């Protein structure tokens, strides 16, 4: 069975690797071969990269060998990836072709817009795997193409609302943080440099998509969840293929697929036993993802709210900051309520989030609203307390609370802090048995069911992914077939007037001088080399031939392989000693040399005739000297056509002789 080869390249962060890896698993189940490429720093950190038939891992340099250092210097890492990644990816693609595994399609995640250029240069189809909502991509598209100035001018106006085609009514506070200025909330989460780099990277990504003729964007969402947003931008072909989470939590096509299997963080397994001991829908789960670092005052407010709620809680509290774990541990020990937290709840550095979210004891999910976490919460049917921080998270919070109605949003004070009372209010709304809580739970169950339907056989995401793969494979095979047919077309082009062979032959003939035997031989060898170049230009290279054989199928394959080898052998035979091209070339050289000799003989003949016609001084000394000088210089060809004198020139010449004779007499 023919295996088409998909090359997936992802930014080296957990939130990028997880959906990309799940996408790889889907492709493998469809019979594809997959190579997943990520940064050295991330792969070295993975506890256990999943092994699967059809899946290969490789890396590109990202400036660091250790993930903690890479994470601490986002700016350097991103620039290093862009600087060295292009050549690394080119080498991977070419090496795959040499190994008989040519790339059918290249798919990359966000923050890597330069990948499209590599694919274009190497004539490999490409697509973007967008791991945020379709709504957020639409916002970026409209901002960078149409409404950027308007948004910037009103970024600090809370009453300003923005209406974009196919999207809900938005305020500036609902937009991705990179698009705003003077944003107090993000000021303590990330540096202005980080915002600036992220802004320029997303801008470049949108520009690349806008410049593409038919850009394909695979979105980690599903039609039922974002129907309007997927159709909002006519220029972009947005294809919903999500949720990209392990099969065991969705369609159960692969019950063994219970985790993403490439965790950069090393978690705890004790939490599942702890959850088993808790009543149904009683536990508050708190996690703020892999990149969000909250300051100590905010952590204190969250801690106080959890304790005041009187409910069991599971809090993922990893070591934060620049990787200096000792400093962070010392800071955490200073919390006024740390010991009480550990008595009333459970604190872990990391855990299997899907196992937690799907556990029956879970009551709600306090989340930063990163898209992976949000989608996992929806797929598991868990109500949400939205606690957005930066990037796309505030847009996601808007969708959770107002569009999908599965959660409540925690509001910040003037300092950008969610106070403990506000946090407690949100927890009570979601966890109590009021009408609003029941509505959230009903909606959560609805989206859970729709998410599972989307990825089942015949569901919207299942159909979309199959259609995408079929289209890409068909285009690639057709391209290979066109390349295989090029030898015949190029052969005709090379020998016709103005073609490569025709031009090379004329160059050779022009360079054959009289009496230059050694150089003629060298030119003959040159023509042989040119002939070989013509063969190479008109035929498929070994690399393209291997690629075509791997990509094409059916009865046509054997015929094309046979014809290619036949013409390759005939071409080689033709330029060998005594081959057709060698014989023809030799005959051409002999003919040219013979014509040169004959021309010289004709020149001597006309010299004799001239002397005969000028006896007794019929022609003046001046004219005779001029004529003899021209004859001696071998320039009689100026008076000749097709190798002899024309009738007109000959008559004029004889008239001159007669006139000279009369003058003499």
Q: Where are the domains of the chain?
A: 270-455, 473-576, 608-664
- Which residue is catalytic, options 3, 4, 5, 16? 16
pLDDT at 365 over 50: yes
Is pLDDT larger for residue 468 or for residue 247?
468
Tell me, yes or no, if the pTM score tops 0.75. no
> CA 224, CA 442: separation in Å to the nearest integer?
16
- What pLDDT sits at residue 379? 97
- What pLDDT sits at residue 660? 54
Domain spanning 270-455, CATH class:
alpha beta
Which burial class, exposed, middle or buried, applies to 85 when counting CB atoms under 10 A from its CB (0-12, 13-18, 19+)? buried
Q: Is the peptide bond before 367 cis (omega within 30 degrees of 0)?
A: no
- What pLDDT sits at residue 659? 62
Percent residues over pLDDT 90 in the chain:
47
> CA 604, CA 33: separation in Å to the nearest integer?
77
Average pLDDT, the chain: 79
pLDDT at 642 over 60: no
Alpha helices, H only, 496-614: 500-511, 517-538, 542-551, 556-575, 580-613
- What pLDDT sits at residue 199? 87
Alpha helices, H only, 432-499: 435-455, 460-495
Determine the average pLDDT of the residues in 384-390.
95
For 144-158, 421-435, 516-530, 634-648, which range has the lowest pLDDT when averaged over its residues?
634-648
> CA 551, CA 536: separation in Å to the nearest integer?
21
The tokens describing 277, both together, are: 């001991």
CA 334, 335, 336, 337 torsion: positive or negative?
Answer: negative
Q: Pairing relation of β-strands 346-348 and 313-316?
A: parallel
> CA 150, CA 159: separation in Å to the nearest integer?
14
Is pLDDT larger for residue 384 or for residue 75?
384
Nearest 5°: the CA angle 188, 190, 192 is 105
Tell me the three state secondary structure of residue 348. Answer: strand
> CA 24, CA 10: separation in Å to the nearest integer?
11
pLDDT at 531 over 60: no
**What band does 194 get if pLDDT is binned at 50, 70 and 90?**
low
* pLDDT tens readout for residues 70-129: 455 677 788 889 888 899 999 999 999 999 999 999 999 999 999 999 999 999 999 999
- What pLDDT sits at residue 383? 98
Tell me the three state secondary structure of residue 162. Answer: strand
The tokens describing 331, both together, are: 């800071």
Which burial class, exposed, middle or buried, applies to 280 when counting CB atoms under 10 A from its CB (0-12, 13-18, 19+)? exposed
Q: How far apart are the first and last CA of the chain?
A: 100
Is pLDDT larger for residue 487 or for residue 271?
271
Residue 2's nearest CA partner among 35, 28, 32 is: 32
Is pLDDT larger for residue 200 or for residue 642?
200
* pLDDT tens readout for residues 221-246: 999 999 999 999 999 999 999 999 99
Is pLDDT larger for residue 531 or for residue 469?
469
Residue 283's nearest CA partner among 410, 396, 383 is: 383
> CA 143, CA 568: separation in Å to the nearest integer?
55
> CA 261, CA 643: separation in Å to the nearest integer?
83
Determine the average pLDDT of the residues in 162-182.
85
Asked if residue 322 lies in contact with residue 403, where contact means CB atoms within 8 angstroms, the answer is: no
495 CB-near residues (< 8 Å, 6+ apart):
501, 502
Q: Please, how many CA atoms are within 13 Å of residue 200, restricted to the half-sphere of its CB?
A: 9
pLDDT at 395 over 70: yes
Percent residues over pLDDT 70 in the chain:
64
Determine the average pLDDT of the residues in 176-197.
60
Alpha helices, H only, 614-640: 621-632
CB count, 10 Å around CB of 228? 14
Determine the average pLDDT of the residues in 421-444.
96
> CA 190, CA 188: separation in Å to the nearest integer?
6
Determine the average pLDDT of the residues in 605-620.
52
Asked if residue 49 lies in contact with residue 22, where contact means CB atoms within 8 angstroms, the answer is: no
Asked if residue 46 lies in contact with residue 52, where contact means CB atoms within 8 angstroms, the answer is: no
**In angstroms, how far apart are the furthest CA atoms of the chain?**
143
> CA 573, CA 593: separation in Å to the nearest integer?
26
Phi, psi of 572, deg, nearest 5: -65, -40
**What band does 484 get if pLDDT is binned at 50, 70 and 90?**
confident
DSSP state of 60: E
* pLDDT tens readout for residues 540-593: 444 444 444 444 445 444 655 666 577 667 666 655 666 656 676 666 656 655
- What pLDDT sits at residue 274? 95
For this structure, is 76 an active site residue?
A: no
Phi, psi of 105, deg, nearest 5: -155, 145
* pLDDT tens readout for residues 311-348: 999 999 876 544 444 444 555 555 667 788 988 999 99
- What pLDDT sits at residue 291? 76
- What pLDDT sits at residue 158? 75
pLDDT at 418 over 70: yes
């Amino acid at each position: 069975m023919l295996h088409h080869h998909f090359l997936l390249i992802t930014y080296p962060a957990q939130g990028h690797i997880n959906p990309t890896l799940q996408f790889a698993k889907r492709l493998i189940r469809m019979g594809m071969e997959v190579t997943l490429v990520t940064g050295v720093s991330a792969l070295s950190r993975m506890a256990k990269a999943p092994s699967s038939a059809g899946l290969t891992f490789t890396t590109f340099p990202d400036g660091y060998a250790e993930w903690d250092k890479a994470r601490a210097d986002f700016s350097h890492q991103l620039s290093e990836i862009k600087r060295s990644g292009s050549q690394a990816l080119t080498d991977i693609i070419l090496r795959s072709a040499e190994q008989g595994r040519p790339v059918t399609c290249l798919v990359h995640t966000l923050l890597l817009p330069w990948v499209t250029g590599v694919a274009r240069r190497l004539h490999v189809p490409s697509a973007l795997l967008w791991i945020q909502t379709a709504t957020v991509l639409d916002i970026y598209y409209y901002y960078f193409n149409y409404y950027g100035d308007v948004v910037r001018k009103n970024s600090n106006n809370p009453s300003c609302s923005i209406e974009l085609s196919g999207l809900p009514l938005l305020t500036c506070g609902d937009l991705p943080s990179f698009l705003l200025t003077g944003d107090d909330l993000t000021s303590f989460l990330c540096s202005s440099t980080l915002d600036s780099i992220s802004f320029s990277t997303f801008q470049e990504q949108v520009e690349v998509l806008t410049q593409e003729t038919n850009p394909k964007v695979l979105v980690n969402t599903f039609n039922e969840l974002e129907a309007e947003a997927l159709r909002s931008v006519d220029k972009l072909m947005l294809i919903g293929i999500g949720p990209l989470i392990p099969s065991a939590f969705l369609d159960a096509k692969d019950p063994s697929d219970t985790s993403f299997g490439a965790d950069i963080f090393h978690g705890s397994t004790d939490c599942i036993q702890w959850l088993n001991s808790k009543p149904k829908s009683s536990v508050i789960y708190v996690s703020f993802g892999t990149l969000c670092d909250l300051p100590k005052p905010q952590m204190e407010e969250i801690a106080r709210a959890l304790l005041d709620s009187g409910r069991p809680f599971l809090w993922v509290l990893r070591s934060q900051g620049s990787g200096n774990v000792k400093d962070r541990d010392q800071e955490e020990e200073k919390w006024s309520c740390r010991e009480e937290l550990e008595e009333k709840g459970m604190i872990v550095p990391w855990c299997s989030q899907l196992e937690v979210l799907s556990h029956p004891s879970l009551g709600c999910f306090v989340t930063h609203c990163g898209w992976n976490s949000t989608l996992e919460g929806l797929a598991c049917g868990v109500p949400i307390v939205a606690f957005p921080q930066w990037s796309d998270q505030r847009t996601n919070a808007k969708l959770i609370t107002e569009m999908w109605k599965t959660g409540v949003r925690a509001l910040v004070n003037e300092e950008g802090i969610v106070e403990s009372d506000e946090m407690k209010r949100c927890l009570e709304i979601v966890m109590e048995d009021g009408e609003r809580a029941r509505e959230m739970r009903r909606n959560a169950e609805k989206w859970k069911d729709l998410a599972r339907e989307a990825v089942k056989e015949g569901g919207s995401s299942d159909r979309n992914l199959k259609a995408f793969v079929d289209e890409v494979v068909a285009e690639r095979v057709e391209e290979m077939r066109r390349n295989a047919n090029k030898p015949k077309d190029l052969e005709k082009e090379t020998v016709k007037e103005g073609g490569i062979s025709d031009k090379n032959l004329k160059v050779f003939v022009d360079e054959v001088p009289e009496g230059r035997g050694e150089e003629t031989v060298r030119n003959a060898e040159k023509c042989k080399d040119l002939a070989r170049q013509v063969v190479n230009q008109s035929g498929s290279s070994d690399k393209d031939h291997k690629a075509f054989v791997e990509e094409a199928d059916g009865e046509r394959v054997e015929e094309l392989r046979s014809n290619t080898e036949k013409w390759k052998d005939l071409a080689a035979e033709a330029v060998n000693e005594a081959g057709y091209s060698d014989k023809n070339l030799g005959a051409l050289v002999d003919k040219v040399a013979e014509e040169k000799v004959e021309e010289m003989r004709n020149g001597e003949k006309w010299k004799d005739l001239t002397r005969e016609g000028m006896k007794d001084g019929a022609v003046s000394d001046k004219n005779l000297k001029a004529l003899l000088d021209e004859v001696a210089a071998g320039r009689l060809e100026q008076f000749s056509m097709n190798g002899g004198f024309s009738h007109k020139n000959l008559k004029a010449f004889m008239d001159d002789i007669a006139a000279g004779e009369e003058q003499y007499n």
